[in-house]
Structure 1
Amino acid sequence: MHNVSLALGGAWKVLLYGLLLGAGLPAVFALGMKSLSWGTSHGSTTTATAPHPVGRVVAILCFALVIAVALTGVAFIIASGMGKTISFQHVFPTFVDK
């Protein structure tokens, strides 16, 4: 019975990270793309207006978040390959010995 609880304890973590990174990051990217089209005219094919400035700021924030998470994931893979781990003790992630 103890093995089942350990397996389910690990399974919910895999499910949570899968939802966050597997569906969450593409959703944030899609939100950024959608916010870029905020304020543009969709009904007319000949005239287009400039995107709304707030939509552009939201898009930049969404894209920056996606890029930061992707780079942190790559850094984690690189650190574990070199026998190190990532420390977030300071603001920026750094490689430290295990």
Structure 2
Amino acid sequence: MDLLVTTANSLWQVILVGLLLGAGLPALFALGLRALAAGSEVAADGTVTRRPLAVAAAVTCFAIIVIAIVVGILFVMSDFLNHTFGIELF
């Protein structure tokens, strides 16, 4: 019974992380693109003006994605960094 509880606990954690990273990051990227597009206005002469709040929302979305990518790469490299340079990150 204890093994079943441990397996179920691990399973929901894997599903949650999979949904968050597998669907959450692409959705956040789409939200950033949408904010950037919705905050843009094209004038008659072809110049594009953007609303500062929309740009800030898009930059925030993109920054979260870049941070998640860097953390993921460092997580994958953690054993290498620890063995080669003695750096413990996680």
Q: Normalised by the size of structure 2, how large is the TM-score?
A: 0.78
Aligned to 1:25: 25
Question: Does structure 1 retain, via aligned residues, the 8 Å contact 2:81–2:88?
Answer: no
Contact 1:39 1:49 in 2 (8 A): no
Aligned to 1:96: 88
Higher helix fraction: Structure 1 or Structure 2?
Answer: 2
Q: 1:25-46, CA deviations, whole angstroms, 9 ceiling, x for partnerless residues? A: 111111100000123459xxx9
Between 1 and 2, higher relative CO (CA 8 Å, sep ≥ 6) is seen in 2
The one-letter code of the counterpart of 2:56 is V
1:87 maps to none
Query: What are the residue-to-residue correspondences of 1:8-87 with 2, within 5 Å?
Result: 8-40=8-40, 49-80=48-79, 82=80, 84=82
Name the CA shift for 1:83/1:6 in 2 (closer, same or farther; >3 Å): farther
Q: Which runs of 5+ in 1 are unaligned?
A: 85-94
Note closer, same or farther for the CA distance 1:34–1:97 as it changes in structure 2 (3 Å cut): closer
Per-residue deviation, 1:48: 6.8
CA shift for structure 1 position 83: 6.5
Distance 1:5 1:66 in 2: 33
Q: Aligned residue pairs: how many?
A: 86
Q: CA deviation at 1:50?
A: 2.0
RMSD: 2.7
Matched residue SS, 2:49: coil
- Aligned identity (percent) is 32
Which amino acid is 1:67 matched to? V
Opposite residue 74 of structure 1, the aligned amino acid is: I
